[in-house]
Amino acid sequence: MPIEDENGKNGNQTGLMEKVKSGIQEDLQSLKTDIPAKAKEQIEGLKDPTKTQVFTSIFRHKHDDTPRNRALGVLSNVFLHLHPAKINRDAVRYSYTWGMGGITFYLFIVLTFTGVLLMFYYHPSKVQAFRDVLYLEHDVPFGRILRNMHRWAAHLMVIAVWLHMFRVFLTGSYKKPREFNWNVGVILLVLTLLLSFTGYLLPDDQLGFWAVTVGTNMARATPGLGHEGPFGHQLGMTPYNDVRFGLLGGSIVDANALLRSYIWHCIGIPIVASIFMIVHFWRVRKDGGISGPAPVMLTAEADKARR
């Protein structure tokens, strides 16, 4: 039995048609009025992108130039929060730190970047390595400058670490409470030299081959652990089981040495060095920031200062 209401039989059908019609009219009307209004709003909003949700989700605070925001700019950024928000007014002077630790770190980043790009073109095998470097130099777009930059940044990093250590010594910055961080630094120094040294072999040319041969020949003479070293013979060392063999994966610098060099150079040492750098930077903060420029101490005070 059909349902009857005030519209009579079939009434709801005609009602539906009208509803649809007026609905569409409303939709059309809204297109005409709302969309331009929204567009206007959108464009207005774009004039100040710092108010967009995307922006505020990335940057967690306002950027108008207030002391609070300057501090937050450093503290709420994962990379910058290595720094404190404020430092001693004299500590920003270039003449005190020479910026050398920072420059060393920057060079490490440059080396990582160029190094990864070089890895795309390099195979650590006797057949390919030398040719890959030639290919890089002559055919890869920007290959030569890439290789040059990696090479020179490496040399520069060695120089920068030395100068950094030199400055830390001259400013007495290894003294209490920074003794431990000095030691972390010494390990970083060794790692930096090893990074450079392991990279030297990779072009597989005469220069690298003989440099690494000369270098690792010394390992033969390790007391007790090398076959030519003191007590090595007595302890059963031969060219086929001593430390040099372990370093090179063979008794001469060959395919295994190339592969080992490569892995140490591209994976092993960078990871270890990164870890030590993290500790190093952390400790700079925890030890109270950069050591100076501190107020000078007078002789009389030095005698009193000791308990």
Partner 1 sequence: MDWRQLWDIVSTPDNVPIVALIPLLIFYCYLAWKQAKANDELVSELEADPVLAKTHHRKTWPFRPGWQKEVHVWPFLLRVEFLAAIIVTIILMVWSLTLNAPMEEPANPNLTMNPAKAPWYFLGLQEMLVYFDPWIAGVVMPTLIIIGLMVIPYIDTNPMGSGYYTWKQRKFAIGTFLFGFIVLWVSMIIIGTFIRGPGWQWFWPGQTWDHNRLIYEVNRDLPDLFGITSNWAKGIFGAVVVGGYFAVGGFLLHALFRRFNPKDYRRMSLLQYSVMQVFMLTMIGLPIKMLLRLALNIKYVWITPWFNV
Chain residues in the site for ligand HEM (CB under 6 A): 97, 100-102, 104-105, 108, 161, 164-165, 168, 171, 173-174, 178, 181-182, 185-186, 188-189, 192, 277, 280, 284, 290-291
What angle is formed at CA 156 by the lines to CA 152 and CA 159, rounded to 5 degrees? 150
Residue 93 partner contact from ligand HEM, partner 1, none using kind-dependent CB cut-offs of 5 to 8 Å: partner 1
Of the candidates 104, 108, 55, 59, the residue with the CA atom closest to the CA atom of residue 80: 59
Q: What residue 197 binds from ligand HEM, partner 1, none (CB within 5 to 8 A, per partner kind)?
A: partner 1
Question: Least distance to partner 1 from the beta carbon of 174, Å?
Answer: 4
177 Cβ neighbours under 8 A, 6+ residues apart: 287, 288
Smallest gap from Cβ 173 to ligand HEM, in A, equals 4
**Cβ at position 259, least distance to partner 1 in Å:** 14
Distance CA(231)–CA(38), nearest Å, equals 86
Helix H or strand E encompassing 248: helix 243-248
- Among residues 165 and 266, whose Cβ is nearest to partner 1? 165
Place of tokens 């950069």: 290
Task: Provide, rounded to whole angstroms, the least separation between the CB of residue 92 and ligand HEM.
Answer: 11
Non-local CB neighbours of 5 within 8 Å, separated by 6+ positions = 11, 12
Beta carbon nearer to ligand HEM, 45 or 172: 172
From CA 121, how far away is CA 119, in angstroms rounded?
5
In the bound state with partner 1, the residue whose beta carbon lies nearer, of 146 and 266, is 146
Nearer residue to partner 1 within complex by CB, 122 or 197: 197
Contact 132, 123 (CB under 8 A): yes
Least distance CB 198 / ligand HEM (angstroms): 15
